[in-house]
Structure 1
Amino acid sequence: MLKGLGGLLHRFRWSVLALTIVITVLAAYYGIGVFDTLKGASINDPGSEAIQAGKLIGSKLSSSSTDVVVLLSSPTLQASDDAFKQAVDDLQQKLQARSEVDSVTSYYTDKSAGMLSRDQHEILMLVNLSSDGAGKMGNYKNIAPLFTSPTLTVNTGGTIVSDIQFNDQTGADLQYAELVTLPIIALLLFLIFGGVIAALLPLIIGIFAIIGSFAILRLLSNFMEISSFAVDVVAFMGLGLAIDYSLFIVTRFREELLLNENDVRIALHLTLASAGRTVLFSGLTVGTSLICLLIFPEVLLRSIGLAAISSALVAMLASLLVLPALLAIFGLRINALSLNKVLRRRPKSVVQDHGAWYTLAKFVMRFSIPVTLVIVAFVLFLGTPFLHATFSSPDERSLPEGRSARVVQEHLKKNFVGQGVAEMDIAITTSGDVLSADNLALLQTYVARLQATPHVTSVLSLTSVDPRLTLKDYQQLYAHPESSPELAKVAKQLANGNVTEVIVTTDAVGHSDQAHALVGTIRDVAVPSGITRLIGGTNAVEADLFKNIEATIPWALSVMAIAILILLFLLTGSIIMPIKAIILNTLSLSATFGVLVWGFQDGNLQKLLHFQSIGSLDSTQTILIFALAFGLSMDYEVFLLSRIREQFDLTHSNREAVALGLQRTGGLITSAAILLAVVIGAFATSKIIFIQEIGVGVALAVLMDATLIRSLLVPAMMSLLGSANWWAPRPLRALWSVIGLRESEQSTLEQRPVPSELFLQDSEEKQIQTL
């Protein structure tokens, strides 16, 4: 497939290098601005009922969600003390004087019992920001230094504050992870390659992949919301895959140099015709696996899916275009500054056909049944904790302890009446003015039905503000607002034209399964003819999210499976091999998720990773981990199967092909898995829980796949299946003979313009005859 690319890159190597430097500088200049464009992308389906309810209420009513929630507290003063009140007044005046602020209310101005803590040592202040100028997020950053008091402890929370703190923490975690990872990766590469130059090249390609991916991310941010968490994904996907691919390319190039009497051009040509083809296929497989994330309507998953696909493709292209140009420039100097010279070792002439991996494969295939039973039982045992998995949507609890947004959220639930219980915001639309007598009558009928619903503790609406008033009283007072200023104020907050808000409070704990079930119960309440309703609120948003994910997962998995089946069929010519690969990957991932439940949901990794368990796994990150881990696992599947297919074409022996294929790739796959696990595992040091979940989950999946699955279970299963491994219906076999994407070792040998004596040391009789 890539026969001419090696020669082309060798001929224009300096031009390619110059162009690469220009692209890198431009990409770095443009991509560095990605951090200013990222947002806390929505984890929710923008078309769900709850989101539509929130949009309607936010656009029509003044009772829309608050931008900044300020928690003011003192361990000694109470809210009734003059010093406490004076400190609040001083802060409120400073904020009201700023153009970035639209409105400020506090316990003293609103007199709401829900804004005063149970012990009266804490109160709430609600701040709404202007959207003019730098936008609400920029306006908050401008006034953030004002949230201080010499008398009180001030903590700020709310959606905008949590988004900013998530972004800041993500950037800090990324810098720390890179600081820790790069030196370790450099050392491991040096030990693997045994030389400085060969070790530096994958690192250079990895850095180029990160820079290029950041530029693409910045470009995508012009057309859609991009989550701040996409930066982490881009970093470890770009660096990890670039190092993986470079490892295979550089290793094959060094082998070809030895086989072709140090002819750089021929070595590069043969490297891209073999290892290059595998890298191309692997990059397409990883990218195809991640397409399933684009099926989900949630902005978070779609943005991270695009980011991950972009980084995989950039890493692949850099390994196929930039790296070969560098190899052509360095040429024989690829082995410079080598450990072999220091230790006075002779370099290996060729890859051994009968080494440790070959012996392991033969042993596994000899005892294939007990090996299969033991490995499958062990993997299923690791996966058993997943049977009691629970899921939640990410919120301030995912931030590190001590962050103000998390502090505010925790104190609201713990110390304030009515906080922490499940509430639902219902957007009511009527025909004509909602304050008309007829519409008020319809609204009261609906409110009465809500009040009679089990587990509903209170309903706040236009017709239930004061239980002493009758429907006729409300109709008369709303018709003459001057007669009741208090009701007029309520009407201004809860109604606008033909839209009104009804707030339902229940006795269920927020974010619980009972709260999510109550959303369905409230939606089942009959609505009088003449009005329509949309059920919203945090718990409704979560319920819709889980329902949407549950409905979308089968489609996403189907797309992933079909894509993998097609690609691996084109690689192997078999339909059994792709099916087996999907089953084994799913089996491996079940163990990974079992460990995640044990470690994060059950809290057994709290002390080691310094986090506080919230008793559940993040629902969206679980999907992300599955997609990333599945794609990266298929990466190694391609490397192994491509070599097994090559050997099968030569030997026509299933057992020999498996043993030789594992011998040729076992060490490389293990090395690549260790490097990738180090890159990804560095994100376990993050201070954000769900990023830790990604780091641990994907790193564990990669290591488990490269050891238990690829080294043991795959050879055992292929031995059990025997010749059935390569089965395909006759029409598909005919199709594959025409379009099968392979580059067997036989055709590669035919291209080598070197004496046959070089192959006699390590070739079998069939290979000699073929040559």
Structure 2
Amino acid sequence: MSVLTSGQPLEQAPTTPRVGPLGRLARVTYRRRGRTVLAWLAALVVAVLLSMSYGGDFKADYSAPGSDSQQAQTLLEERFPAQAGDTVDVVVYAADGVQGHQAEVQSLLGDLGAVRHVDAVSDPFTDPAAISPDGTTLVAHLRLDVENPVDMPVADSEHLLEIADSASSSAFQVALGGQSIVQAEQGEIGSEGLGLAAAAIILLIMFGSLVAAGLPILVAVAGLAVSSTLTTVVISFVDAPDWSTSLATMMGIGIGIDYALLMVTRFREWRAAGLDPEAATVATLDTAGRSVLVAGTTVVISMLGLFAMGLSFMRGAAVVTILGVLVVMLASITLFPALLGYLGKHVDRLRLPIGRSHAVVVAEGGHVEPSRGWLAWSRLVDRHRWVAATVGVVALLALASPFLGVRFGFPDAGNNREETSSRQAYDALADGFGAGMNGPLLLVAEVPAGSTAGVLDQVGAAVAGTKGVAAVTPAVLNEAGDTAVMTVFPATGPQDSETVDLVNTLRDDVLPAATSGSEASVHVGGVTATSIDSTDNIAKRLPLLIGGVVLLSMLLLIASFRSLAIAIKAAVMNLLSVAAAYGVVALVLQGGWAGQLIGIDTATPLPAFVPVLMFAVLFGLSMDYEVFLVSRMREGWLRTRDNEMAILGGLAGTGRVITAAAAIMVAVFAAFVPSPDVVLKVIGVGMAAAIFIDATVVRLLLVPAVMHLLGKANWWMPDWLGRVLPELHVEGHPEDHLAPTRA
């Protein structure tokens, strides 16, 4: 070990260092940096042109394939196209009775019916079921000419809200409900900008230099610009939900900055060790670049696991996110070294008046010795390995415990903010008509033409007499006379377990008995039934996702680190980390003190696809930090064959990088917490919590403690398995880039 000041010349090795493919690619892009930057600009232009020519629209089908609710929806679309369109509920409340305000209501409905995309308006005064039993509340329906709420222009929905607000008075309140209204109320919060701003501050604190801090931002923004533009082309070929862009953006910004952060740190170390900018760039990609490639691959593998769910919207979200990850990885290994060609000599320029300069201690292998603080922490974990391991496991299990009481389902307008029109409409319907008014079930009956009356009467009577049913509307036939629709209003709300029991009872007992001996078939559909079917479908397929992702990730880690113990340990700890994040999500969804901190003030169900999505994303990101940490440990092990020193040096050497990288990820995900969309809010909370837990409790405490306990078993692998799996050399050959002696 020797002490060098940054920039001190270092005698180069007499032999040419072993340089892998990434190192050779770095040399090419460094020397041809102008062409590389122009190539990225050209890629952006091509992406924009493709987007203008072939750009598509977001759409998503949340129904479970082959489910009863999907069959009901298909029949509606084919035989009741008017019934399949989106609707807006107009809810009017008057304490002195709505009948006395008939003229005002008709005028209001006339104004609402004149808005673009409103195709038809129901008359509540000709339908006794449209006025509450106490006469204070009525509901009318605006039938839209769009089938999907996302197709309703926000400006038109906002116009509807303006009309309703203008019509309201102290004695006559109007509220609008429906998914298109919810979307208009949510708006945009600029989460991406908040995340980037937070990341920039963290990078400035870490590096103390505008140039060093700006490099990761440039790489992430460049990758994000290309991938987000290409997303509009991708959704022309695959169905993807509108929130998939937010997920891809979170991932693109987070990992793009993290990967570049790792490589900027390593580049500065190589420069401090005396390498010139080009040699330092090659060495950086030949060492840290390999970690980036393996880490990015684990993220892609995790997202590919979403294909096992068999849901079109999951596949679409996975494709959009994988595109963002791949483009960011490409930017990290091509654009980053090209930018170093321009800025490498000035990486520590434009320093801020924070921190203090000190002599750089260069250890064997070319990395800078970590600070005394990180070394002290690493030794503390080593001395108290049993305590650290026990505390880590207990903490994770304690955080995971609230998930045992989680309630699955889809949030609805009843979980929106109290000041929103959709929440007010929801509450008014529940107060006036009963909780089930907000979650009606649609019975879609397929019957032989000419023999409908008797069968439909039997079905209606049987359903009306079923426990838990508040009301059933008369059957409405289509023009062909072979399909009928009835609306069933449960006595309980759409999120109540009794409603789930009712749906199952109708399907398993009531409807088969009512149609026995006839050729009729009746399907239970509607938003509430679709939510129930989707939840059940995801629960059945979840083991496929977990098993496939864990197995493939373990194989990649075994090949990367030539160790069974490290792969098994990583899988177990990542599962514990994800479980702890689930527990945090379940806690905030309870609507208590934790939920109120982020704007959730009512007990809210958890959409079943959210933990699936979180697992795929978080397992991949957790593997990122595992690769960053263990690759440096393996580097020390190969050099010294001393397990204790390898773990001490690896933890101390990467602790600062992992902490900064995790802080950036937490900031990026936390920027989505203010979103009025409950799903995005929950995803942001869960992922921010998971990254924080993983980078603190797991990577900086539990992993080194367990590896100290395992000793040399960390690096064991059966000979037969070693011959089968390729050796990736994820740590590279750092010693080859330094001279054996220093001047």
Shared fold per TM-score greater than 0.5: yes
**TM-fit CA distance, 1:726:** 2.5
Q: Which amino acid aligns with 1:103?
A: A
CA distance in 2, matches of 1:372, 1:134: 50
Matches within 5 A, 1:285-304: 285-304=298-317
CA distance in 1, matches of 2:621, 2:655: 16
CA distance in 2, matches of 1:240, 1:61: 46
Please state if 1:556 is matched with 2:548: no
Structure showing greater Rg: 1
Matches within 5 A, 1:301-450: 301-339=314-352, 345-346=358-359, 351-352=368-369, 355-417=372-434, 419-420=436-437, 423-430=440-447, 432-433=448-449, 435-436=450-451, 439-450=452-463
1:270-323 Cα distance to aligned partner (Å, 9 max, x none)? 111101111011111111112222322334433322222222222211111111
1:339-372 Cα distance to aligned partner (Å, 9 max, x none)? 4899565556551168443443333233322221
Between 571-580 and 686-695, report the one with greater CA deviation: 686-695
Give 1:756's aligned residue: 741
CA distance in 1, matches of 2:291, 2:627: 7
Task: State the number of aligned residues.
Answer: 709
1:236-271 Cα distance to aligned partner (Å, 9 max, x none)? 21111111001111111111122244x122111111
1:619-678 Cα distance to aligned partner (Å, 9 max, x none)? 222222222222211110111121122222222222222112112211111111111111
Match of 1:281 among 279, 294, 298: 294
CA distance in 1, matches of 2:96, 2:650: 74
CA distance in 2, matches of 1:382, 1:351: 36
**TM-fit CA distance, 1:599:** 2.4
SS in 2 for 1:509: coil
SS in 1 for 2:315: helix
Q: Which amino acid aligns with 1:693?
A: V
Match of 2:135 among 120, 139, 143: 120
**TM-fit CA distance, 1:36:** 8.8
Matches within 5 A, 1:183-262: 183-261=197-275
1:516-554 Cα distance to aligned partner (Å, 9 max, x none)? 122221111234242223222333212211110110100
**TM-fit CA distance, 1:555:** 0.6
Q: Unaligned stretches of 5+ in structure 1?
A: 463-489, 759-771
Give 1:681's aligned residue: 670
Give 1:507's aligned residue: 491
CA distance in 1, matches of 2:304, 2:208: 37
Matches within 5 A, 1:486-565: 490-491=476-477, 496-525=480-509, 526=512, 527-529=515-517, 530-565=519-554
Between 125-134 and 697-706, report the one with greater CA deviation: 125-134
CA distance in 2, matches of 1:30, 1:594: 43
CA distance in 1, matches of 2:531, 2:614: 20
SS in 2 for 1:37: coil
Matches within 5 A, 1:706-717: 706-717=695-706
SS in 2 for 1:757: coil
User: Could you state the TM-score of these two structures normalised by the residue count of structure 2?
Assistant: 0.88
Distance verdict in 2 for CA 1:225–1:734, change over 3 Å: closer
CA distance in 2, matches of 1:502, 1:561: 46
Between 298-307 and 279-288, report the one with greater CA deviation: 298-307
Percent identity over the alignment is 28
CA distance in 2, matches of 1:133, 1:633: 36
Contact preservation (8 Å) 1:32, 1:214: no
Q: Which amino acid aligns with 1:632?
A: L
**TM-fit CA distance, 1:126:** 1.4
Give 2:728's aligned residue: 741
Give 2:127's aligned residue: 111
CA RMSD of aligned residues (A): 3.1
Give 1:10's aligned residue: 30
SS in 1 for 2:626: helix
SS in 2 for 1:69: strand
CA distance in 2, matches of 1:382, 1:142: 41
Contact preservation (8 Å) 1:358, 1:659: yes
Contact preservation (8 Å) 2:117, 2:145: yes
SS in 1 for 2:105: helix
Please state if 1:264 is matched with 2:264: no
CA distance in 1, matches of 2:158, 2:730: 62
Distance verdict in 2 for CA 1:26–1:604, change over 3 Å: farther
CA distance in 2, matches of 1:116, 1:211: 52
CA distance in 1, matches of 2:403, 2:218: 39
Contact preservation (8 Å) 2:199, 2:667: yes
Contact preservation (8 Å) 1:428, 1:531: yes
1:575-597 Cα distance to aligned partner (Å, 9 max, x none)? 22111111111112222222222
CA distance in 1, matches of 2:569, 2:695: 16
1:118-146 Cα distance to aligned partner (Å, 9 max, x none)? 55344222122335999962498289359
Distance verdict in 2 for CA 1:420–1:502, change over 3 Å: closer
Give 1:767's aligned residue: none
Q: Which amino acid aligns with 1:111?
A: D
Q: Which amino acid aligns with 2:690?
A: A
SS in 1 for 2:83: coil
Give 1:656's aligned residue: 645
**TM-fit CA distance, 1:328:** 1.3
CA distance in 2, matches of 1:318, 1:203: 12
Please state if 1:157 is matched with 2:177: yes
Q: Unaligned stretches of 5+ in structure 2?
A: 1-19
Give 2:623's aligned residue: 634
SS in 2 for 1:155: strand
SS in 2 for 1:126: strand
Between 263-272 and 96-105, report the one with greater CA deviation: 96-105
